[in-house]
Amino acid sequence: MKGQPLRFGGLFQKYFLVLFLAVVIPLAANGVSDAWFGYRDQRARLDQLLGVEARSAASRIQGFLDGITGQLGWLVQLPWTEEPDERRRIDALRLLRQVPAIVSLTVVDGSGRERLYVSRIGLNRTESRTDRSGEPAVVGARSARLWYGEVSYYRGSEPYLTVAISGNRSSVGIVVAEVNLKLIWDVISAIKVGETGHAFVLDSPGRLVAHPDISLVLRGADETTLRPFQAARQAVWPNSTGFATSRDAEGDRIAVAAAPISGPDWTIVVEQPLSEAFGPIYAALWRTGGLLLAGAAFAGLLAYALARLMTKPIRLLEEGTERIGAGQFDHRIEIRTGDELQRLADSFNAMAAELTVSQERQERIAKLRRFLAPQVAELVDRKGDDGVLEGRRTEVVAVFCDLRGFTAFSAKAAPEEVMSVLSEYYEALGTIITKYAATLTSFSGDGLMVLVNAPVPVEEPALRAVDLALEMQQSVQDLIFGWRDRGHRIGFGVGLAMGPATVGRIGYESRFDYTAIGSVVNLAARLCAAAADREILTDATVAYAVKDKRSLVPLGSRLLKGYDEEMPVYGICFDERIHAA
Amino acid sequence: MINRRTFALGVASACLLKPPAVLAQTSGRIPRIGVLGTALTAATQAIPDGLRNLGWVEGQNVIIEWRWARGSPELHAQHAAEFVKMGVDLIYAPDSAQVEAALSVTRTIPIVFAIHADPLAVGHVASLARPGGNVTGVALLITEMATKGLELLDEILLGAKRVGVLWNPAFPSHLAALNALDKAAAALGVELHRAEARGEDDYDPAFASLAKAQVSGVVVVPSTLAVKEGEPLAKAALKHKLPTIFAFRQNAERGGLMSYGPDLRDALRRSTGYIDRILRGANPAELPIDQAVRFELTVNLQTARALGLSVPPAVLARADEVIE
């Protein structure tokens, strides 16, 4: 198959396309639906995940605040009297040590007077008795046990939260704490959402309360800094159905979810870069895409291979029929697929074999037709026996004939005339030879040699030969008449003899002639040479064979060339047809 | 979708693990930091350590030039000028004296401080939230520490009438501290006596003068020099039998009686965060000042015993560290 050009004809393309589509379409449909559903599932999962993260983060922040407010409760358990409470002062100082986030504590008694102020960085005050009952913290704590104030910025930078707690009775007083929210940093920076996500806290006006990058918090209420965070909260908070997408400070897309921190009315927002959040989705899509491509490539290869496989027998058939059609009958189509195509190939091979046989047969017939009359040739071949041309010894009648005065004529006449005469002569004689199914063994110039009873035996060969000679003479004499009109003086004589001879083909390679060898042939030739115009001379054997059936005239004995003795010669009576003058 | 994802991934990973070499790549060379140090102390090791945690390894992707001046402002200014000529990318001037010296020679090279007392009051920055210039860093509220120190001393001494203040004129923030101390003393009903000390040789005479003024205790206005020379300081205080309160734990460890103030090493470490961000391209004008929030009380009972002083249990209960 090496030298064969790849022929991607119609059938190959059809097969290829069908096979390829048969694989790729289900693959693609599966992949796409997979990806779609996977995407939806992943989004739902992300939803859940981010929601959980948000709530968990919210609870941690709330825990931080509760840790502080829980400790504050210690200071509002015992009632105040008018006396200074040294123990409570020490308790307040110890509380400062316990809760690093508290910057200062103001302890107020039942009537709202400040009794104690301890600060981490400012001077403490004891028993200042300033009336603080109008302050929002005190008022707030009186109505609700736990009161959260608004976030304010100490020196424009550090976020402070005021928290106030009251006890179970008014006499125990109220404690107001200033909390430095910078210390939320430990909590917020520990909140990790996935690998690259984090959380931040906004208070209700939208200011940043906590962020893993503390410098963003310390910028205070800086509009430009706050914008992306507020936008993120905006995207998700009002609807609060699952997660939303927004852009972070660098402009990258993020997935955000939020949860409330109910105490101080803050919102914690968890964000995760979309690249990570959708990472599994993208990975799945890539995977599907990759699989699809791989599948398509594989389908292509498979389709190609299968289509080639399937069209190969057909190609072999196509090629084989071309070859056989071109005449290469020995070419055989090799198909071993065990199916209809193999059977088709087998019948093509059988056909080719038959064609070979037929061709051989034609050749044999052609061979025979050289010598035999066509019908004989047919007969012989139908019998399938071309051994008929084999050499053997048999009784034959040899008939020789030629034109008298032809040589002289041919010297005088124009070549076209000579050829014309000859062609009329042969045409006439040929018809007769065919009619009598005799074998024309050779001819040269104007002389013919005809055999009867070889290669195919006939009934009454002598009689047939005599009738043959008679008709030949008649026919040619008619022609002579015409030629005379044209001014040619030509005669025709026939000689025939019967006897045993060796018959067969002689020659070499592709030049074979069928002939008879024996004295009968010589005799016939001499008799022909001796025959004058209008004479048919035979020997004794023929005469004896036909004496009762045809009229003979004994012409005595003649000395013929090549024979020591004189031979009896007979003439066949030949009815002259009267030619109208 | 592909582009966005790749881009976002790239940005995310860049934010997470952008190698410090990015500065080297962008500017084509390794960044240099000039450090104006007082003296080599154990605390100073916090700087290279903190930088290493953030990915900057001295000698590999950052070069640090150390210059020690022992509190001499002239030397600081000289070194700062040298840095400017060298073309450093950042000057690290931990305390206010060093910032002052650096600011005198450059207004463009970023300056990072770590233990500045009060950059706003001294005028080195425009505001805490937005410094606005080339200076930023960690502020330690030295002024507040000094006043609280006075308050604590008052508490221990159970009603002192006279208290001494040891301060170093070389440090600009000490003046602000002195003002605040005057106000606090007035509120507490205490008389203040000042004594200057610029270095080791001045401590003994300063304490002697305070002892002569019959103060019950001394507040030492904090500085890194005071930390470095903590031992001679404590010795001088003990010699004159004066209870002294400092701001930094290291002083109490070296023999001072008490200290109340932020963690020095933590402040140095936090300041390396500023160095990291500036080397990565942040603008110092936009980096807010980080003020100290945690303050530790350290009490050295050995010194207390040597002074014949009994520390009230209430104070001991609040101490973060008690040296026995």
Euclidean distance between CA atoms B324 and B303, whole angstroms: 9
Residue B1 has pLDDT above 60, yes or no: no
CA distance A152 to chain B (A): 13
Euclidean distance between CA atoms B281 and B22, whole angstroms: 10
Please state, in angstroms and as integers, the Cα–Cα distance from residue B193 to each residue in A128, B187, B199, B209, following that order. 28, 16, 19, 9
Write out the two tokens for A491: 């005669």
Structure letter (DSSP) for residue B62:
B
Euclidean distance between CA atoms B50 and A277, whole angstroms: 32
Structure letter (DSSP) for residue A316:
H
Residues of A within 8 A of B145 (CB-CB) are 121
Query: For residue range B235-294, what is the model confidence (pLDDT) as tens digits?
Result: 999 899 999 999 888 888 888 899 999 988 888 888 888 999 999 888 988 899 998 888
Query: For residue range A534-553, what is the model confidence (pLDDT) as tens digits?
Result: 889 999 999 888 888 888 88
How many pairs of residues across A and B have Cβ atoms under 8 Å apart? 90
CB–CB of A123 and B151 under 8 A? yes
* 3-state class (DSSP) for residue B213: coil
Nearest residue to B138 via CA among B115, B167, B158: B115
Euclidean distance between CA atoms B228 and B199, whole angstroms: 10
Tokens 């003058």 correspond to: A581
Query: For residue range B163-210, what is the model confidence (pLDDT) as tens digits?
Result: 999 998 888 788 888 988 999 999 888 999 999 988 888 899 999 999
CB–CB of A218 and B289 under 8 A? yes
| Number of residues that this document lists for chain A | 581
Residue B22 has pLDDT above 50, yes or no: no
**Nearest by CB: A282 against B5, B148, B320:** B5
Radius of gyration of chain B (CA): 21
Write out the two tokens for A288: 């599907």
CA distance A222 to chain B (A): 9
String of b and e for A508-546 (b: at least 16 CB within 10 Å)? eeeeeebbbebebbbbbbbbbebbebbbbbbbebbbebb
Please compute the mean of the pLDDT values over residues B304-314 and round it to a whole number.
Answer: 89
Contact A100, B294 (CB under 8 A): yes
Residues of A within 8 A of B317 (CB-CB) are 90, 94
Mean pLDDT per 10-residue section of chain A, whose length is 581 residues: 55 84 87 86 86 91 93 91 88 91 92 91 88 90 91 88 92 93 90 88 90 87 84 78 78 87 90 84 84 87 85 83 81 81 86 83 75 70 70 92 89 89 91 89 87 87 92 91 87 92 83 85 92 90 87 85 83 68 44
* 3-state class (DSSP) for residue A204: coil
Place B21 in a pLDDT band, splitting at 50, 70 and 90.
very low
Q: What is the mean pLDDT of chain B?
A: 84
For chain B, what percent of residues have pLDDT higher than 70? 90
- For residue B313, the chain A residue with the least C-alpha distance is A90
Euclidean distance between CA atoms A503 and A448, whole angstroms: 17
Place B23 in a pLDDT band, splitting at 50, 70 and 90.
very low
CB–CB of B129 and A124 under 8 A? no
Residue type, B110: P
Write out the two tokens for A133: 């009952």
Euclidean distance between CA atoms A563 and B39, whole angstroms: 159
CB–CB of A282 and B288 under 8 A? no
Please compute the mean of the pLDDT values over residues B91-107 and round it to a whole number.
Answer: 86
Contact A450, A440 (CB under 8 A): yes
CA distance B120 to chain A (A): 10
CA distance B288 to chain A (A): 6
A249 in contact with chain B, both atoms CB, cutoff 8 A: no
Euclidean distance between CA atoms A522 and A464, whole angstroms: 20
Total Cβ atoms within 10 A of residue A126: 15
Q: What is the pLDDT of residue A3?
A: 45
Cis ω before A228 (30° cut-off from 0): no
- E strand or H helix that includes residue B195: strand B191-196
B12 in contact with chain A, both atoms CB, cutoff 8 A: yes
Write out the two tokens for B32: 């240099």
Q: What is the pLDDT of residue A1?
A: 45
Euclidean distance between CA atoms A368 and A374, whole angstroms: 8
Angle, in degrees to the nearest 10, between helices A86-98 and A10-72: 160
B158 in contact with chain A, both atoms CB, cutoff 8 A: no
A158 in contact with chain B, both atoms CB, cutoff 8 A: yes
Per-position DSSP letters for A74-119, written without gaps between them: GGGSS---SS--HHHHHHHHHHHHH-TTEEEEEEE-TTSBEEEEEE
Euclidean distance between CA atoms A307 and A13, whole angstroms: 8
Total Cβ atoms within 10 A of residue A245: 15
CA distance A29 to chain B (A): 21
Euclidean distance between CA atoms B112 and B103, whole angstroms: 11
CB–CB of B184 and A123 under 8 A? yes
Chain centroid, CA A558 distance in Å: 92
Euclidean distance between CA atoms A123 and B187, whole angstroms: 9
B294 in contact with chain A, both atoms CB, cutoff 8 A: yes
Radius of gyration of chain A (CA): 66
Which of A20-34, A361-375, B83-97, B296-310 has the highest average model confidence (pLDDT)?
B296-310
Residue type, A401: C
Chain centroid, CA A355 distance in Å: 36
**Nearest by CB: A93 against B5, B9, B318:** B318
Give Cβ neighbours of residue B21 (< 8 Å, ≥ 6 apart): B61
Nearest residue to A364 via CA among A383, A381, A388: A381
Please state, in angstroms and as integers, the Cα–Cα distance from residue A514 to each residue in A142, A290, A372, A378, A504, following that order. 147, 82, 9, 17, 5
Per-position DSSP letters for A325-369, written without gaps between them: HHT-TT-------SSHHHHHHHHHHHHHHHHHHHHHHHHHHHHHH
More confident residue, A193 or B159: A193
